Structures are given as C-alpha cells and as structure tokens.
Amino acid sequence: MKSALKKFFNMISLYYYKFAIYRCEMKKIYKKKNLWKNIKLDKKISHEIKKIYGTKDYWHRYYQYFTGNFDINYIPEIIFSTKLEPIINKRSLTKALEDKSLLHTLYGDVENLYIPKTIIQKTYGIFYDVDGNPISSEIANKIVSNYLKKHNSAIIKPTIGTSSGQNVRILTRNDNWNESYKDNYIIQELIQNQDDIKKLNPNSLNTMRVITYVCNEKYYIAPIILRMGGGLSHLDNAHAGGIFISVNDDGTLGKEAYSEYGEKYKKHPYTNVKFEDYKISGIDKVKQVAIECHKRTPQLKMISWDLTINKEGMPTLIESNQYGQAVWASQIAHGKSFFGDNTEEMLKLIRKKK
C-alpha cells in the first residue's frame, strides 16, 4: 500500500514539474521572439519539425539565428527538458547526487582530475571539516579565517538547489559569510585558469560545459562550449552576463561567442582577444576525465560537467549538473545538433515511453 502511494505521489509531482517546465520554456522562447521572428523556414520543414518533435519551429529558428545554420536534428529545448531529461535521469537520484559537497567522494579517485580543496562545508545544518568530522560553528569560523589570513581569498557557494552562479561569491578576509548562507554550502579553494583560458577573461574562472551521455552502450560527448565572464564578474555563467563559444575537437575556438540574448562577438568584449584560430591546450585530457567521472555515476544517462584546466594544467571539476540541464547553448554555439548521429536513438527513448 505504502509503495503504491509513493508511486502515485511521485507521478503527480513529476506531472506538475513537467507542466511548470513547459510553461517556463514557452515563456523563455517568446521572450526571445525578436531573435527568431525573422528567420523563415520553408513550410515543409516546419511540418517536418512538427512531425518529428511535436513542437512549433520556434526553437529551430532561434538556434539558426546565431550561426545561420539549420539542422533538422536540433533538439528543441522544450522537448529535452519536459520529455527526454525526466526519462534519462531520475529526479530522485539527482536530488542527492548533484550535491556539490559530494564531488570528492564520487570523483576523487579519477586519475588526472583536480577538484578544488574543501576548507569547510555545512551540510544539512551541520559544519564539517575537510576530513568529514562534524565541527562547531566557532571552529568552522576559525578554520576559514586562518585560511583567509594565509591565502587571502576563497569561494563560497551553495551546494544544492541553485544554478546560474547564484550566490557563488569570492570570500575575502573580513567577510561575514556565516550570516548570509543557510544550511547547505561549501567554502573551497579559489581556482585559477591555465594561461590560454585565463587570457580570454582573467576576472572569471572560465569553464567548459562538457556533456557526457550514454547511447547504444557507449559514452558520447556532446559538442563542447567554453563559457567566459563578460566583464568584471568572477562568474562565467551565461545567466550572469557571461558569453559562450564553441570548442572544436582540436581545442580551437569558434569564430564568434554569443550571449543568450543574441549578442555576437568576434573578440572578447572585455579583453579584445580575437576568437578565430585561438587554441586552448589540453582538451583531450578534459574529455577523458569527463567520461571517467561519468563511469562513477552510471545511474544517470546524461551529465553536464563544469570542467576547466587549472594553472598547473590539470583538468579541474567545478560541478556536475544532472537535472535542469540544457541543450540550447551547445546547439547555438556549434550551429549543429546536440546528439548528432544519435538523435534518432535518443528520440526513440521518448517514443518508447509513450
């Protein structure tokens, strides 16, 4: 009886979640209408889109706005977030596994991977030191202030339930961090980028969105993007004013970086670094560690890793995103579909579920 009830409540909450996300995606695409309204598609193509995805062609036109490329295999964001993601990643799992304070536990043994050192963390209301011992708030304060005396700065961020860089802050010596954060957060070492990534914008930690997924008994990596702060912010998130650009297989960047709202840049707007032919070294290492990390959490069929390369040249894991992931930025930046030749296989998962 209990398990039937549980199933029933899970079904209802998933239904409401999907409905809320559907409305949110519709709102977002209408907000960007001025970008896609002048991109015209042949009627036959719009029909085809409707037949394959059951959606209007708005998303295909929005993606095309950036590079000018059309791809019938573009996955409309609304289909990904309301239909595919809930099938491939169970919300009940990601609620626990996405916790940023678990990175060392889950992925700490991956070879050639660096994870920012924890100074202290507060997890469900209790402070812990770097070895996982519960500590008082006075001791936590002492550890942090000793660290800041020595290193001058650190990062503080919530460990669950946020995105888009919300409340990710640099801590300095006289910050009163204890008062503004609640029950789940971490204070960790501030990471610096390797030179070729730093040069693009030295104010922010610039990270790559490396998305791994499982299809036909194999791990794949979707086309990678690099995210950079747009100006003085220390965050690189697109929703926090950042910009993003495609990263090719050999580490060269695309010709143009974009903002979510349609700005296009051939040079970085803050540093003036030209993007075309600019190369980042070490992309292969980054791809390798992303797949090795995914192998540690095979319960999930798709994971978005925020990875960068630190100043010692080591791939560095900032976080893993497992629910509320996105396919738009990769498709926009690369001007091609997210799942490429695997599109049909991934769409089959949705059809099978119906």
Ligand X SMILES: Nc1ncnc2c1ncn2[C@@H]1O[C@H](COP(=O)(O)OP(=O)(O)OP(=O)(O)O)[C@@H](O)[C@H]1O
Binding segment (CB under 6 A) for ligand X, from list 30-38, 133-141, 202-210, 294-302: 202-210
Cβ-proximal residues to 76 (8 Å cutoff; 6+ apart), any chain: 49, 53, 55, 58, 59, 60
The residue with tokens 């030295």 is: 202
Binding segment (CB under 6 A) for ligand X, from list 5-13, 31-39, 231-239, 338-346: 231-239
**Between vectors from CA 244 to CA 325 and to CA 226, what angle results, nearest 5°?**
80
The single residue among 60, 83, 122, 157 that binds ligand X, judged by CB under 6 A, is 157
Partner interacting with residue 98 (select from Mg ion, ligand X, none; CB below 5-8 Å by kind): none
Residue 192 or 288: which CB sits closer to ligand X? 192
The single residue among 105, 136, 145, 166 that binds ligand X, judged by CB under 6 A, is 166
Of residues 293, 211, 281, 228, the one with CA closest to residue 250: 281
Q: Report the interface residues with Mg ion, using CB under 5 A.
A: 306, 319
Report yes or no: 339 and 73 within 8 Å, Cβ to Cβ.
yes
Examine residue 155 and tell whether it contacts ligand X (CB under 6 A). Answer: yes
Query: Which tokens is 220 given?
Result: 């794949």
Closest-by-Cβ residue to ligand X is 205
- In the region spanning residues 171 to 200, those forming contacts with ligand X, defined by CB under 6 A, are 188, 190-191
For residues 100 to 139, the per-residue mask of contacts with ligand X, x marking binding by CB under 6 A and - elsewhere, is ----------------x-----------------------
Report the amino acid identity of residue 343: T
Residue 71 or 306: which CB sits closer to ligand X? 306
The residue with tokens 């678990």 is: 102
Sheet strand arrangement including 126-128: 134-135, 126-128, 118-123, 185-188, 153-158, 169-172
* Residue ranges in contact with ligand X by CB under 6 A: 116, 155, 157, 162-166, 168, 188, 190-191, 204-205, 207, 235-237, 306, 318-319, 321
